[in-house]
């Protein structure tokens, strides 16, 4: 069995990609369990609204209503997925590279959720404004803002602290972060297209031949496949976690400092260690 991935380490681009796949593979079962238990309600809500839209997208009045509901659910769902993965890795590090239980992840989740939800909402507005300002400011801000939530969860920071630190640590690391997000994002897109291809061919072809809309079963199937593909977001979020720790290690050298401070210190029973209550 390969050695467990240490999060606090300086990595280059190749190491980030390689360690991302190893990290996800090593934690696949417990991470997926936490994902479905915590995010299951959000996924079901998203599946329901997507299927409803597929069945009623010919009704003009429904488009506006669905657009608003879909936006709200997407924000709730995206924040939940983002936070679940980050909470898992925060606990993974805290427990000495051992997988946390679902209850432990849930305790982190409920402590941070509304803080992360509001943060994601404000950051989305900022990115949208940036895209309206000649497009490129939006891309720049999207990469910087991608580090805000990891900082908030890993360092228990508020919005102001996390926002300022994201701009501070991104200096000299923007392209590194951008490349990681771009490549892992493209991999997710390829996987999603591969999952969607069979249903698109079968039901898209039947629509073209018959000239009719999707059947109820086809609408639900597309909604289920599309929303379950959110599981694949674990990959870029895992890569982003490693990017965050790599940048922090280069900027602050936290793990090196901890190792130096531990020299000559007698180990204590980890079961007696007090942890912060959430």
pLDDT of residue 53: 76
CA distance 113 to 43: 16
CB 81 within 8 A of CB 230: yes
pLDDT of residue 222: 80
Which of 200, 192, 253, 199 lies closest to 226 in space, CA to CA? 192
pLDDT in 10s for each residue of the chain, 278 residues: 578 999 999 999 999 999 999 999 999 999 999 999 999 999 999 988 888 877 776 666 667 787 788 889 989 999 999 999 999 999 999 999 999 999 999 999 999 999 999 999 999 999 999 999 888 999 999 999 999 999 999 999 999 999 999 999 999 999 999 999 999 999 999 998 888 887 667 666 555 555 555 567 777 788 888 888 999 999 999 999 999 999 999 998 765 555 555 555 544 443 333 344 44
Tell whether pTM > 0.75: yes
CA distance 61 to 80: 29
pLDDT of residue 85: 98
């Amino acid at each position: 069995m390969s050695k467990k991935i240490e999060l606090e380490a300086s990595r280059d681009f190749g190491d980030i990609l390689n360690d991302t796949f190893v990290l996800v593979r090593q934690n696949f079962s417990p991470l997926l369990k936490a994902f479905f238990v915590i995010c299951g309600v959000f996924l079901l809500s998203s599946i329901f609204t997507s299927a409803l839209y597929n069945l009623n997208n010919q009704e003009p009045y429904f488009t506006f209503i669905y657009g608003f509901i879909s936006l709200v659910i997407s924000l709730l769902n995206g924040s939940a997925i983002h936070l679940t993965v980050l909470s898992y890795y925060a606990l993974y590090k805290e427990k000495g590279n051992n997988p946390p239980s679902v209850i432990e992840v849930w305790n982190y989740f409920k402590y941070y959720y509304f803080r992360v939800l509001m943060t994601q909402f404000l950051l989305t507005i900022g990115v949208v404004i940036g895209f309206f300002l000649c497009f490129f400011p939006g891309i720049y801000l999207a990469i910087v803002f991608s580090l805000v939530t990891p900082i908030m969860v890993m360092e228990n920071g508020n919005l102001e602290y996390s926002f300022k630190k994201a701009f501070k640590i991104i200096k000299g690391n923007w392209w590194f972060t951008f490349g990681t997000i771009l490549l892992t994002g493209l991999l997710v897109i390829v996987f999603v297209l591969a999952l969607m291809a069979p249903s698109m061919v079968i039901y898209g072809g039947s629509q073209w031949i018959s000239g009719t809309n999707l059947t109820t079963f086809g609408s639900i199937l597309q909604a289920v496949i599309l929303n379950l593909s959110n599981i694949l977001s674990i990959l870029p979020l895992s890569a982003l976690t490693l990017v965050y720790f790599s940048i922090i290690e280069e900027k602050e050298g936290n793990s090196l400092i901890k190792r130096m401070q531990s020299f000559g210190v007698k180990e204590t029973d980890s079961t007696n260690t007090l942890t912060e209550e959430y």
